[in-house]
Amino acid sequence: MLCVAGTVPSNDFPLLEGDVRWVDEKLQIAKTLLDVNRGTPALLAAAAVTADALGWSLFAYLVGDTGTGKGSRRLYAHLTDVLPRTRFETMTFHYLQPIVHWHKRLQAVLGNSSPKPTLIADAGSMYAAKMSGAASLYDLFTPDAGELAFLADEEAPHPFYTRGFILHEENRVPDLISRAYTHGNAARYLLVKGETDYLANAQGIIGTVSEPAAEAMEAIGGTGDTLTGIVSVLIDGGMPLEKATLAAMRVNRVAGHYACPTPATQIIEIIRHIPQALRDVLDGENRRIVTPETAIIDIISAHRQTEKVFKRLEAETGTCICCQGLFLSVRDAAQRFGFNMESVLADINGIISEDEKGRASSRIR
């Protein structure tokens, strides 16, 4: 399951945790409804819509913080207390004040997790990772060009002190990426958001996405947050990180294109179009992933190598699922035979992705 931890800009907002739902275009966390605007609520809304479209689950920890750090400290303390007793496959950290000693305590807890979750950071959580020397512990950072400039400045102790000669114009993004990796201030992968979106690692630029392009998107607050929300869900669902990131870049842009944006467009208008954008991108580029509604017979017919997953489930459940549930969807089979649907989907999609990668390598050779 994916977990998102972050803050909302309110001193009165309590520490809140629970499953996330998308109900009548509002976020529902536990029994609390939240309006959607930019920041962590936008990230969570995009993640909730994506998870709902794909049949996956989402959990969140939220607290109010207007920049004083009081709420962030409270959330850091809560996470270090509860995470040893929980298990998330993916964790995304968003707007948390970069309090170095608390970040180190949190990383100590996460480092003892077995297996260690995939770690994603955006906004203040990237700052905390860099400032505490822990950037390399993360799997994905999602900076914009300005945030990337801070990561690239090996001497800046805080974003306010990013040196002026380290410019963050769009055409300097490849140089800034290289500099961030050279000085050990980047995660395993970087998704750099902007007029052109970049996916990179320490070896260089892996891919870019710049279409469809809508100039008005740059003026709409929250579009970077929605991209982080989408990619978090796709990674948690079992897609390889590179594939998930490139797909999320396209989904976010297609959703924006469908919203016909103007500078007055609100982020919720883009979020509404994420389900259609997911269908177009994942299907249109032959990137279909197995969802809870996919029938077992269709999975095995198209991908015979996934049969081993169901053979393993036969041993675990004591039931021949391919005999008694061949025509059921994965969701219905999980309910009937009592296996963990999300874990099985992640295994199936991982096998399919590895097989596709192997075929691609064979064609190249």
3-state secondary structure of 338: coil
For residues 71 and 240, the model is more confident at 71
For residue 326, name the pLDDT band (cuts at 50, 70, 90).
confident
- pLDDT average, residue stretch 220-230: 87
- pLDDT average, residue stretch 43-64: 93
Query: Residue 286 has what pLDDT?
Result: 44
**pLDDT, tens digit (0-9, with 9 covering 90-100), for 74-109:** 999 999 999 999 989 999 999 999 999 999 999 999
3-state secondary structure of 49: helix
Query: Residue 284 has what pLDDT?
Result: 52
Exposed / middle / buried, residue 315 (Cβ in 10 Å: 0-12, 13-18, 19+): exposed
Query: Residue 220 has what pLDDT?
Result: 67
Query: Residue 64 has what pLDDT?
Result: 94
For residue 8, name the pLDDT band (cuts at 50, 70, 90).
very high
Q: Torsions phi, psi of 280, nearest 5?
A: -65, -45
Domain boundaries, the chain: 2-284, 296-364
Quote the CA–CA distance of 226 and 48 in Å, as a whole number. 10
**pLDDT, tens digit (0-9, with 9 covering 90-100), for 183-196:** 999 999 999 998 89
Lowest mean pLDDT among 119-123, 183-187, 301-305: 301-305
Which CATH number among 3.90.780.10, 3.40.1190.20, 3.90.580.10, 3.30.360.10 corresponds to the domain 2-284? 3.40.1190.20
For residues 284 and 131, the model is more confident at 131
Asked if 25 and 272 touch (Cβ cutoff 8 Å), the reply is yes
Query: Residue 167 has what pLDDT?
Result: 62
For residue 364, name the pLDDT band (cuts at 50, 70, 90).
very low
For residue 290, name the pLDDT band (cuts at 50, 70, 90).
confident
As beta bridge partners, residue 191 has 199
